[in-house]
């Protein structure tokens, strides 16, 4: 059985506030960076054994999930367990593993707090799962845009996909008019771009508009992202962990 995690973060708990009733939220993750073929500005990897972080040559924003794996051996273990279990399977094998591992009480599933769609058959397996689980809402931020636009499956209404800007195929976001999320370094940057910031996943799950996500998490020392995190802390924003 693959490992789905029950959502317990402050951001996830806020979902129930706008959902209007208690809701069971789960996530499914893979090792950040190692399963992200289209990552660019956020490419970071935590070593499977030691947790030591390695940033990519184009990294300007360190992946929050990679930082989480660096601190948590349990997170690394669970995400590598999932990756090792499915990366060598065909479409039918991946779909079967996802279908039988999905918790029966899942109302909402975030696909990939860590990781991304690492090949076409894996992406298609999630689409097929959503088609066959219409009572569950699935959502995912992804830089794996080529798999999205190349799928032969119809994306069902209960699968909310959000293109994550800053990858290797950003031109496809505009070409195919895909919904997009942009990481901003400040409230002022979001205002300048005329974008609402999603603090509780309500825009990601409920709406179709482009939106912003506020930078958070541990960033490379001395980087613009690190400076931005420090400035946000001064106004009381310390991320979504609490």
pLDDT digits (tens, 9 = 90+) for 113-165: 999 999 999 999 999 999 999 999 999 999 999 999 999 999 999 999 999 99
Task: Give residue 240's pLDDT.
Answer: 66
In the chain, where are the structural domains located? 4-234
CA distance 195 to 237: 18
- What does the pLDDT look like over 189-199, one tens digit per residue? 999 999 999 98
For the cut 90, the answer to whether the pLDDT of residue 171 exceeds it is yes
Query: What tokens appear for 218 in the block?
Result: 């541990």
CA distance 234 to 224: 16
Which long-range contacts link 135-139 to residues 24+ away (Cβ below 8 Å)? 136/102, 136/106, 136/107, 136/108, 136/109, 137/107, 137/108, 137/109, 137/205, 138/108, 138/109, 138/110, 138/111, 139/108, 139/109, 139/110, 139/111, 139/201, 139/204, 139/205
Least confident of 97-111, 139-153, 220-234: 220-234
For 191, the enclosing helix (H) or strand (E) is helix 187-192
CA distance 150 to 163: 14
CA atoms within 13 A on the CB side of 167: 25
CA distance 72 to 200: 24
Task: Give residue 215's pLDDT.
Answer: 86
For the cut 70, the answer to whether the pLDDT of residue 241 exceeds it is no
Better-predicted residue by pLDDT, 217 or 158: 158
Whole-angstrom distance between the N-terminal and C-terminal Cα of the chain? 30
Once rounded to an integer, what is the mean pLDDT over residues 162-174?
Answer: 96
């Amino acid at each position: 059985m693959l490992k789905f995690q029950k959502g317990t973060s402050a951001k996830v708990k806020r979902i129930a506030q706008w959902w209007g009733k208690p809701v069971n939220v789960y996530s499914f993750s893979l090792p950040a960076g190692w399963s992200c073929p289209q990552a660019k500005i956020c490419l970071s990897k935590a070593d499977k054994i030691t947790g030591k972080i390695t940033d990519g040559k184009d990294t300007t924003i360190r992946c929050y999930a990679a930082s989480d794996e660096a601190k948590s051996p349990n997170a690394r273990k669970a995400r590598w367990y999932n990756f090792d279990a499915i990366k060598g399977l065909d479409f039918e094998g991946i779909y079967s593993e996802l279908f039988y591992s999905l918790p029966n009480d899942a109302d909402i599933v975030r696909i990939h707090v860590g990781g991304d769609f690492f090949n076409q058959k894996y992406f298609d397996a999630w689409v097929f799962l959503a088609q066959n689980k219409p009572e569950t809402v699935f959502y995912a931020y992804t830089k794996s845009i080529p798999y999205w636009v190349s799928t032969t499956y119809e994306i069902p209404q209960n699968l909310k996909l959000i293109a994550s800007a800053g990858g290797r195929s950003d031109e496809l976001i505009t070409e195919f008019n895909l919904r997009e999320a942009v990481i901003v370094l400040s409230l002022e940057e979001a205002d300048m771009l005329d974008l609402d910031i999603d603090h509780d996943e309500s825009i990601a799950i409920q709406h179709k508009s482009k939106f912003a996500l506020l930078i958070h998490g541990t960033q490379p020392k001395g980087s613009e992202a690190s400076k931005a995190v420090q400035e946000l802390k001064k106004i009381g924003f310390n991320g979504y962990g609490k």
